[in-house]
Amino acid sequence: MLPTSDDLQVIYGPNAAERVAKSSVLVVGAGGVGCELLKNLATAGFLRITVIDLDTIDVSNLNRQFLFRRQHVGKSKAIEAANAISKFAPDAQIRPMMANVRDNTFDVTFFRQFTLVCNALDNLEARRHVNRMCLAADVPLIESGSTGYNGQASVIAKGVECYDCVQRLPQKTYAVCTIRSTPDKPVHCIVWAKYLFDLLFGPDDDANVLKDLDLNRSPTPAQPKQNGEAQHTASAENGHSEPLDKHQNGQSPVPDSANGKHFEEQKQTDPRKRLRYSSDDTAHIFAERVAHRVFVADIEAQRAMEDLWRQRSPPILFDVTSAAKKEPVSLEKVDLLSQSVWDADHSAAVFMAVLRDIINHRVSEIGSLTFDKDDNHAMLFVAAAANLRANAYGVPLQSPFATKGIAGNIVHAIATTNAMVGGIIVLEALKIATSDGKIDKCVTTFVSQAPRGSRVKTILCPEMLTKPNPKCFVCSNGQPHVSVDLDQFTLKQFREYVLKKKLSMKEPEVYVANNILYETYHDLDEDDVEMYQSNCNKTLAKLNVENGTQLTISDFKQNLKCTIHISHTENLLLDKPIQERFVLDGNVPVPTPQADSNDHDSAEDVDADEVVEVGEERQIADGVADKSAERLGPGAREINSRERAQPDGEVANAHVPSKDRERDAGTKRPLEESNAREESQKKKARS
């Protein structure tokens, strides 16, 4: 039986119970932790709750997100969670919003209407954004997370450590050449398959590491060996005695089907045609072209590079189209949660079927699709393509369940951990709500599995809140350092890959000394727009950014300003795609030894957004920074007197726009208008 309002007055005391009931709480995320949190808030007496979540319910959510049932699959998490809570807590006013919390609608004014904000997110970019918005709005934030048996909840506010203060473990990265040509682990094949999906169905991106496949620019393959021709073998001193043209399973590098009629017909396809779908393709033709170019023509080209295979077996050709005909599959019956490993023939059948199905049913989406672990077509494609790639290179094949764990960066959730974290969040929320927003009694609590054999079974470990990290560029005066090849990196790439992707900024403006390289006013003059667009296509060097330059960055959407120190390193990280050719802390990383090829952890973190820690602050050589302050770079507009840069690199009166324009009318709307807008969104969401 749920506690009544009278019960809560006895438990909390009359004044405290009233404060809790009147508190307005924003919950961001309605997943595993979010479901527990919403239930706990409503039953603990919080009656004014807004929940934001952009996601829809997937079958895989049902084992731990208990507010949802099978009939809710495909529907909004926020809306269905609100409906479920209303059934057992009818006094609670739950306002659901199916939206992205990073949308411009949710500005500082929006956040200021809440007593506190609770994060229940699984997305780094969104977490960092909410952290900054709450600091700007001066609203306490309870940050939380869970991974397997581990979890935590902590309070963030001005004067204590924020989310960006803490060093996060960097993602594991892999060299492009390994992904492209020499995979030796399942994760390499899965990352490759994700790139292939984006290449075929996503935006036409020249930065995709498989772009040469699309344009058919693979190296010219050597002539195949004739029967009886000697095979390469490794010397005895390398410990190999088997022919390197065979994998351990004894498969021939060129299967018998390669000599069949169908294989010869495939070779007659126009080699100049792009791999991506075109309007004159049928689903059948498109699927066969992809299968042949990816698993035959490209493998032939890779095999021709003999230097790659002196220490390992070369990849084998595999006629995917013929193999797929051995056991046709129905995609509706394929279980992505199965832990049975698909063999090469079954993977081929799924691969061809999903290619045809996307063309037949989602052709209008081609060009905008990107990999999403909750998109069945995407997961079927990646699971099948990764296994076919693994089969070619002698890498162990994976079950679809294991593939999803790697491709989606999933450490499979434990419902009990989510429940514990949800309870801890509410305990901290009660402290804030009953003390007029004060956080002096709040703590950070860690959840962990009790160590085996230990005398003290410590599962919950509370700690006092810590002071801000003085090197944090969000809540302190930290100044990041970026090493980059200034002759290669453009301003557009700097904004997109460094400021937006790595530092999770929303709409960053870039200043150098008294000059504006890029700004984001909503009513810019046409001449300004043209100039800034022109600047975006110029390299940083052509904008007179040089070694030692200090850039001032302002993001008015997040009320954030910082100084970034630039270092020039020629030909930096040329083996990586352009979006990774920079180092945020100013040091070129030392390559780490390759992990053992037998390490196939399905929970390995493959390509989650990397969390960047700002490195040690470095002294700028005397006179170097001064030079950048004396120049008026080409394409830069001079800042007027009200925006003049200060000695510390921050822009004075940054909220006062040039030319007497209001910088962002969206951040100055009255509360009544904001509430009216949200009520309108609520009605739309419910409809």
612 annotated as belonging to a binding site for a ligand: no
- Cα torsion through 374, 206, 504, 494, rounded to 10: 180
Taking the domains of the chain in order of start, what are their residue ranges? 5-148+412-441, 176-407, 481-656
Identify the top-confidence range among 49-63, 362-376, 426-440: 426-440
- Count other C-beta atoms under 10 Å from residue 139's C-beta: 23
| pTM of the complete model | 0.60
162 annotated as belonging to a binding site for a ligand: yes
30 annotated as belonging to a binding site for a ligand: yes
> Any catalytic annotation for residue 177?
yes
Say if CB 457 and CB 467 are below 8 A apart: no
Say if CB 343 and CB 397 are below 8 A apart: yes
The predicted structure's pLDDT at residue 324 = 93
| Percent of all residues in the chain with a pLDDT value above 90, rounded to a whole number | 47
* Confidence band of 452 (pLDDT split at 50, 70, 90): low
409 annotated as belonging to a binding site for a ligand: no
Q: How far apart are CA 4 and CA 605, in angstroms?
A: 45
Per-residue pLDDT of 178-237, as tens digits, reads 888 889 889 999 999 999 999 999 988 877 888 878 876 544 333 333 333 333 322 323
Q: How far apart are CA 343 and CA 387, in angstroms?
A: 8
* Confidence band of 55 (pLDDT split at 50, 70, 90): confident
User: Which DSSP letter does residue 649 get?
Assistant: S
* Confidence band of 449 (pLDDT split at 50, 70, 90): confident
Structure tokens at 437: 């927003």
* Confidence band of 511 (pLDDT split at 50, 70, 90): very high
The predicted structure's pLDDT at residue 254 = 41
Name which of 543, 537, 560 is nearest 473 in CA terms. 560
Active-site residue among 118, 134, 177, 562?
Answer: 177
**Measured CA distances, 487 to 46, 237, 329, 499, 598 (Å):** 56, 45, 52, 18, 40
Per-residue pLDDT of 541-587, as tens digits, reads 999 999 999 999 999 889 899 999 999 999 998 888 888 899 987 44
Residue 148 has pLDDT above 90, yes or no: no
CATH 1.10.1060.10 fits 176-407, yes or no: no
Residue 616 has pLDDT above 70, yes or no: no
Whose tokens are 């989602």? That residue is: 362
Whose tokens are 């009520």? That residue is: 679
Identify the top-confidence range among 165-169, 244-248, 641-645: 165-169
The predicted structure's pLDDT at residue 170 = 52
CATH architecture type of domain 5-148+412-441? 3-Layer(aba) Sandwich (3.40)
More confident residue, 213 or 510: 510
The predicted structure's pLDDT at residue 260 = 37
Task: Please report how many Cα atoms fall inside a 13 Å half-sphere around the Cα of residue 511, on the Cβ side.
Answer: 24
475 annotated as belonging to a binding site for a ligand: yes
Q: How far apart are CA 169 and CA 1, in angstroms?
A: 43
The predicted structure's pLDDT at residue 175 = 64
| Percent of all residues in the chain with a pLDDT value above 70, rounded to a whole number | 73
Residue 265 has pLDDT above 80, yes or no: no
77 annotated as belonging to a binding site for a ligand: yes
Looking at domain 481-656, what is its CATH homologous superfamily?
A: Ubiquitin-like 2 activating enzyme e1b. Chain:  B, domain 3 (3.10.290.20)
The predicted structure's pLDDT at residue 39 = 96
The predicted structure's pLDDT at residue 137 = 94
25 annotated as belonging to a binding site for a ligand: no
* Confidence band of 355 (pLDDT split at 50, 70, 90): very high
335 annotated as belonging to a binding site for a ligand: no
CA angle, residues 109, 476, 171, in degrees to nearest 5 = 90
Residue 129 has pLDDT above 50, yes or no: yes
Structure tokens at 25: 């709480």
